[in-house]
Amino acid sequence: MENKNVKLSKMYKYIFPKEELEGKERLWKVLIDGILQKYIKENDTVLDIGGGQCLFINNVRCGKKYAVDLNPDIREYANQDVVTIQESANNVSSVPDESVDLVFASNFFEHMKDKDELEKVIEEIKRILAVNGLLLIIQPNIRYAYKEYWDVIDHYTPISDKSLTSLLEINDFQIKICYPRFLPWSPITKISNFTILLKIYLRIPLLWRFFGKQMFIAAQKLPENNIT
């Protein structure tokens, strides 16, 4: 029987072929410069949970960088300034309490086996985040992607903007921003000028309401004395 991590590697090489990597990286640079970088300070410690091909963590500008993923291939994708951690997202034991300023999760939570596992991951993110630290999430929204959502074999848990924000609030996060409709389901990386289209798209939030099938959430970990 194949090792679980070997199967994981095979699956993601099928879903995310290397020949599309260059195009995806161009799109991520646009997304970072246009939206995500403004949440990150120069000296922040940033952790990318479910880092995959490291398209976010490689290109973001910050002090320290960590990428967490069970897939051993993460080491191939990470730049030299990224510390890779091959541990489960619900038990990142090598990361100390309250040592991270910002956690980023993209297209990850739907891969949790069930809602109990998802909550354990949220609890672990809360543990490693510093007080007032941020959690940024880009996530397929089942309300608007109810057909495409199940086209990936390891999408297990249906998540909407309402269910995710309520889970975060229950676990002592304050929702700073929630866009139920943000990015389209899957950018077409084979179109050479799509980076220009993405720049235009990000600057016109009205378009998000028509084409967005993924949500964007920014949530802040509350200090204990602010929790009621």
pLDDT, tens digit, for every residue of 87-98?
999 999 999 999
Average pLDDT of the residues in 13-42: 84
Q: Is a pLDDT exceeding 90 seen at residue 180?
A: yes
Is the CB of residue 182 less than 8 Å from the CB of residue 214? yes
Q: How far apart are CA 198 and CA 187, in angstroms?
A: 9
Query: pTM value?
Result: 0.89
Confidence band of 7 (pLDDT split at 50, 70, 90):
low
d(CA 211, CA 180): 11
Is a pLDDT exceeding 50 seen at residue 120?
yes
Distance from CA of residue 36 to its chain's centroid?
11
Is 212's pLDDT higher than 90?
Answer: yes
| 29-72 confidence digits (pLDDT tens) | 999 999 999 999 999 999 999 999 999 999 999 999 999 999 99
The pLDDT of residue 191 is above 60: no
Domains annotated for the chain, with CATH where assigned, are 4-226 (3.40.50.150)
Choose among 77, 82, 87: nearest CA to 13: 77
